[in-house]
Amino acid sequence: MLDILVIRGIIAVFLISIVSATVGSFSVFRGSTFFVSGIAHGALAGAALGIFLTLALFPIDPLLMAMIFSVFFALAIGYATSRREDVDVAVGVMFAFSMSLAVLFLSMLREYASIAWGLLIGDLLLLSQEDLTILVVSVITIVLIFLIFYRKIMYSIFDPESAEASGLHVMWYDTLMFILIAVGVVALLKCVGAILVYALLIVPAAASRRMFPSVSGTIVGAFVITLISGLGGIYLSYYLAVAPSSLAGLIAAAIYAVSLFRRR
């Protein structure tokens, strides 16, 4: 059983690395890294509501509710920015709203709050086959959209004025990117938890951008850094008897700290 869980964890790390390389790099290029934290807590609120509804009324998958909440917040932020609202302000408002909902739903669970605790911290070595299947489907969706809209999204990120002048709907691609981030966050929720989503989705991409200033270099570097962090976390967890996701986050943060010494 332990071998199966370790194999699932290793597969999950590989898939997480793909998400970090694509969605994480998008977020770093766009300067919307704070958005990830807001969406992560929105996903937590949705998952907590799903658990509450399952226990009180009718069964519903907590990850489905997490996805609904995440996409809703992504669309809301996209709409707010289309109305000339500053992205950071829109994300901050949604962050406060989502955290308030998360605390509300968690307080309603009371003695069942330990169930939601797993979504808060996650565990790479406690993934079920269903969790892995959801992760695979999410990654395939992200990669397909990434390949189809890669050039247009990058164009709208790096030169939005020219992209708008050439006929591209920049806000549409911004919203699409926000939705991709939402899907990526929910994909990582059971693996590393809402708290550490930022650590494995953004930190590797941020470190990679400092080390490899080109777009392709940043994407490949983010994949490698996330893979090293995740596998290192699983390996060290054997000897330290702690959550592998926490160790993975520490390794990613250490790599970023090293990248600070590299001149851009």
The CATH number that applies at residue 47 is: 1.10.3470.10
Q: Is the pLDDT of residue 201 over 80?
A: yes
Query: Which pLDDT does position 2 carry in this prediction?
Result: 59
Q: Structural domain of residue 130, as residue ranges? A: 2-195
**pLDDT tens by residue, 74-121:** 888 777 766 665 666 777 777 788 778 777 877 776 656 666 666 777
**pLDDT tens by residue, 240-257:** 888 888 899 999 999 999
- CA-based angle 116:198:118, to the nearest 5? 15
Residue 83: inside a domain:
yes
Residue 35: inside a domain:
yes
Using a 10 angstrom Cβ sphere, with 0-12 exposed, 13-18 middle and 19 or more buried, the burial of residue 10 is middle
**pLDDT tens by residue, 40-76:** 878 888 888 888 788 777 777 778 888 888 888 888 8
Cα separation, 93 vs 210, in Å, equals 30
Query: Which pLDDT does position 112 carry in this prediction?
Result: 60
Tokens (6 digits) for 187? 């994909």
Query: Which pLDDT does position 11 carry in this prediction?
Result: 92
Mean pLDDT value across the chain? 83
Cα separation, 97 vs 40, in Å, equals 12
pLDDT higher at 189 or 95: 189
Length of the chain: 264
Query: Which pLDDT does position 97 carry in this prediction?
Result: 80
Residue 239: inside a domain:
no
pLDDT tier at 239 (50, 70, 90 boundaries)? confident
Provide CB contacts within 8 A for 77, sequence distance 6+. Answer: 35, 38, 87, 90, 91, 94, 178
Residue 119: inside a domain:
yes
- Helix intervals (H) in 166-214: 170-201, 203-211
Residue 264: inside a domain:
no
Query: Which pLDDT does position 221 carry in this prediction?
Result: 93
Cα separation, 26 vs 96, in Å, equals 23
Q: Is the pLDDT of residue 226 over 70?
A: yes
Mean pLDDT of 176-191: 85
Total domains present in the chain: 1
Residue 47: inside a domain:
yes
Q: Is the pLDDT of residue 264 over 70?
A: no
C-alpha dihedral sign at 197, 198, 204, 209 = positive
Residue 68: inside a domain:
yes
Cα separation, 78 vs 2, in Å, equals 43
Tokens (6 digits) for 204? 């590797």
Query: Which pLDDT does position 45 carry in this prediction?
Result: 82
Residue 212: inside a domain:
no
**pLDDT tens by residue, 126-158:** 888 888 888 899 899 999 998 898 888 888 888
pLDDT tier at 225 (50, 70, 90 boundaries)? very high
Query: Which pLDDT does position 81 carry in this prediction?
Result: 65
How far is Cα of residue 41 from the mean position of the Cα atoms in its chain? 11
Query: Which pLDDT does position 231 carry in this prediction?
Result: 93
